[in-house]
Amino acid sequence: MESSEETSKNGKEGLKSHNRRRWRKDKGKASRILQSMDLRTMTQSLVTLAEDNMAFFSSQGPGETARRLSNVFAGVREQALGLEPALGSLLSVAHLFDLDPETPANGYRSLVHTARCCLAHLLHKSRYVASNRRSIFFRTSHNLAELEAYLAALTQLRALAYYAQRLLATNQPGGLFFEGDEGLTADFLREYVTLHKGCFYGRCLGFQFTPSIRPFLQTISIGLVSFGEHYKRNESGLGVTASSLFTSGRFAIDPELRGAEFERITQNLDVHFWKAFWNITEIEVLSSLANMASATVRVSRLISLPPEAFEMPLTSDPKLTVTISPPLAHTGPGPVLIRLISYDLREGQDSEELNSMVKSEGPRILELRPRPQQTSRSRSLVVHFHGGGFVAQTSKSHEPYLKSWAQELGAPIISIDYSLAPEAPFPRALEECFFAYCWAVKHCALLGSTGERICLAGDSAGGNLCFTVALRAAAYGVRVPDGIMAAYPATMLQSAASPSRLLSLMDPLLPLSVLSKCVSAYAGAEAEEHPNSDEKALGMMGLVRRDTSLLLRDLRLGASSWLNSFLEFSGQKSQKTSAPTVESMRRSVSEAALAQPEGPVGTDSLKILTLKDLNLKSSSETSETPEMSLSVETLGPSTPSDVNFFLRPEDAREEAEAKEGLSAKDSSSGVSNAFPVGFHPRRTSQGATQMPLYSSPIVKNPFMSPLLAPDNMLKTLPPVHIVACALDPMLDDSVMFARRLRALGQPVTLRVVEDLPHGFLSLASLCRETRQAAELCVERIRLILTPPAAAAATAPPPL
C-alpha cells in the first residue's frame, strides 16, 4: 500500500516537473520566434497558420468547440492584419525618441516589442495546434482557452497602438509626454481606463517578461486577489497574515477568475489597500526569510535623528553657513529614521553619540557573536531612498539588496525611512530626506565614512527623491552629492500620457489606476469616494480612516499658501516692494530658512547666510536673470526656453514627414475616434474606475516632477546614472530626463535592461536576469564612488 502511494506521489511530482519543463520550452520557442523574425514575416506566418487552422475547424461539423476554435483563428487573422501597419508606423519613427544610437529605448519601441511578444506566442500556439489538432491527446479546451486569452490581449494591444499613434500626432516634436490641453488629457485617460484589462492578468500574465519572472508574477497575482478577500473581511487588512495570502485555491486554478478579480481590485480599491499589500514584505516571517538569503553584515541599525536644526557650510564659502531646519510640513517637527547598514564595523559606528540615537527594533538586532574588530572609515558613503510609490515600504523592505551593496561596495549605506503619503503628502518626504542627507554629510564620521565621495541612490519614488534632494542641496548652497544612481525613477508625476505609460494597461506591478492613486496621495489630493464604490466593503476602520483624512484635508488645503511659496527665492520680488507677512499654521524647512532676517551680505558680523541672501548674491554674479522662482504659481507650463523637449532640426523634419503620413482625420479627430471604422476594443466590465485625474499645479513643481525643472536648476545636478527597464511604464520618465540633461551638456548615462519589470531590485535574488540588473546598479554606484583620478588611471586606453 505504501509503495502504491509512493509511486502515485512520484508520478504526480514527475507530471508537475514535466509540465514546468514544457512551459519553459514553450516560452523558449516563443522567444526564439521573436528574435528570428521581423514584424512583417511574423505577421504573414501567423495569418497563414490562422487561415489553415480556421479552415480545418470549420470543416469539423457544427460542434460548439470547433466553432469557437474557427472563430478565434478568424479573430487572430483580423487583429494581426490590422495591427501590423500600426506597429510599422510607430517603429519607423521610434528611433527619433532615443537618447542616442547606442541606447535604443523609448515607449514606442517598448509597445512594439510587447505586441511582437504577443504575436510570437500566438504564432507558436498556432503551429502547435496545426501539428497536433488530429491527435487524440490534443487538449482542445486548454488550447482554446489559451488562444482566446491571447486573442483578447492582441485586440487590446491593437488599441494601444492606435492610442500611441494619437500621441505621435498630437505631441510636440520629440516629446514623449502629452503637453497639450488638459481637457484632452483627461479625455484620453478616461477613454484609456475603460479598456478591458483582465486578459493580461490571467493566462497572459507577464507574457512580455523573461520566462524566469512569470512564476513569481503568478504567485503575486494569487496573493493579491487572496489578500483582497481577506482585506475586506478584516476591515483595513491588519488581520491578514502571510499564511492567509495563498489560501484561495479557486484563484490558483482558474486564470480567468483571477484576472477578473485582479482587474476589479486594481480599479476600485483605494491607496490604503495598496499600502497594506506592498507592506506585506515587512511581515516578520517574510522579512526574516529574505534576510536569511541576503549577505550577513556587521551593522544594521535603525537610528532616530532628533528634530534639531544645525548649520551647514556653504560650498561657495565654507566660512559661511546656512541653517538646516528639521522637517515641519503637515505634522510639525519630528524625528527622522534612517537605517545604517555596513558590512564591517567601522570607526564611529559604535560611538556613544551614535548609540544614543539607536532605535530598538526588538530581538532582530540582538547579536550573539563576539564583538568584531573595528576597521577604518571608508572614503565613501551611499545615501539611499527606497521606492514604494511614496505610500508604502521602508528601509526594511529593501534591506536584503542593500546588504549585498554594502558588501560589494565596501562602503556604509544609510537608507532613509521617510514619512509616507497619504498621511504625510508632499513635501514632507522631501524635507525629511534632505534633512537626513545634510545630517549624514555633517556627521559622516559617526557613520563610518570620511565623506570624500557621496552617492545618492534610489529606485522608483526613491529615484525621484534623489533628484529633488540634489536640487534642493544646490538651492541651499550646501554640498551636492558626487553622483546619483536612479533605478527606474519617476520624474514626471503629472497626469500626462506617454507611449510607455500605455503599458500600464497590462503591467501587473504598476497598473495606471494604482499609479494615479499614489500620485494623488503624494500630492495631498485624495479623491472622494463614490457612494457605490466597492470600497464600502472595507469596514468600519476603513471608513473612520477615510473620514479622518477628509477632515484633515481642509487643514492641508489651508496650508497651501506656504506650498505656493515652496523654496521661492525672494529675489523674484522687487526690492522696492516689501512682501506681506503670511502666517501659516505650519512652515516647511524652506520657509524656515527664508524667514530669517536679511542682513548685508559679506559683512564680518554675518555668520549665517540665508537662502534669500544667497540668491541675491548669486544672481548678481552669475546671471542677468534676477531670480529663479520655484513657486507653484510660476511653475505652470514651461516655455520651450526653460524646458527643451525638442528634437534636433533634422530629427524634427523627419518626424514631421512621418506625421504627414497620418490621415487628416487622425490629426484632427478626438480621442474617442482614435480607432478605425470597424475596430472595437474590449471594454472593462468592472464599472467606473475610481482613478483620480489630479491636475493641481503642485504636480508641476520641479521638486515633485524634476522633469519639469527649468534648465538652470538641472544644470546644478551632479553626474546622473539611470538604470531603466524597457518594459516599465515609467521608461519614458528616464528617457526624457536623460535627454534633457544630455541637451544641457550635463554628464548622464542611461542603461536600459530588457524583459524585466519595474522593481527588479527587490527581486535581485529571484533569477539570473534580475541579479545582472542589480549588478549593473552596483557598477554605476561604484563609478560614482571612485575618485576621478583613480577612475582615469583604471580607464582603458583610447583606441
Reference 415, options 380, 458, 371, 375; nearest CA is 458
Distance of CA 650 to the CA centre of its chain: 32
Angle at which helices 271-278 and 512-522 pack, to 10 degrees?
Answer: 100
Q: CB burial class (10 A; 0-12, 13-18, 19+) of residue 387?
A: buried
d(CA 240, CA 228): 10
**Residue 749, phi-psi category: left (phi > 0), alpha (psi -120 to 50), beta (remainder):** beta
What cell was used for 195? 479598456
Largest CA distance in the chain: 99
d(CA 70, CA 66): 6
What cell was used for 417? 525611512
Reference 234, options 533, 546, 538; nearest CA is 538
Reference 752, options 104, 90, 97; nearest CA is 104
- Active site annotation includes 728: yes
Q: Which residue is listed with cell 483580423? A: 78
Reference 346, options 403, 412, 295, 400; nearest CA is 412
- Active site annotation includes 460: yes
Length reported for the chain: 799
Contact (CB, 8 A) for 461 and 490: yes
Kindly name the residue from 221, 395, 449, 460 that is annotated as catalytic: 460
Reference 759, options 782, 725, 720; nearest CA is 725
Kindly name the residue from 121, 124, 721, 758 that is annotated as catalytic: 758
Reference 738, options 707, 781, 710; nearest CA is 707
Strands 748-753 and 720-725 come out as parallel
What cell was used for 49? 497558420
What cell was used for 215? 512564476
- CB count, 10 Å around CB of 202? 23
Strands 299-305 and 336-342 come out as antiparallel
Q: Which residue is listed with cell 544644470? A: 715
What value, to the nearest 5°, has the Cα angle with vertex 509 and ends 505 and 513? Answer: 50
Element (H, E) at 341: strand 336-342
* 157: amino acid identity, one letter: L
- Active site annotation includes 121: no
Contact (CB, 8 A) for 380 and 453: yes
Angle at which helices 39-58 and 64-93 pack, to 10 degrees?
Answer: 170
Reference 217, options 161, 262, 182, 168; nearest CA is 262
Kindly name the residue from 482, 613, 666, 728 that is annotated as catalytic: 728
Contact (CB, 8 A) for 727 and 699: no
Residue 717 DSSP class:
-
- CB count, 10 Å around CB of 626? 16
Q: Does a cis peptide bond (omega within 30 degrees of 0) precede residue 427?
A: yes
Strands 336-342 and 378-385 come out as unpaired
d(CA 771, CA 754): 13
Reference 511, options 218, 269, 762, 246; nearest CA is 269
Strands 321-324 and 378-385 come out as unpaired
d(CA 764, CA 775): 9
Task: List Cβ neighbours of 60 (8 Å cut-off, separation of 6 or more).
Answer: 66
d(CA 663, CA 673): 12
Active-site positions read 460, 728, 758
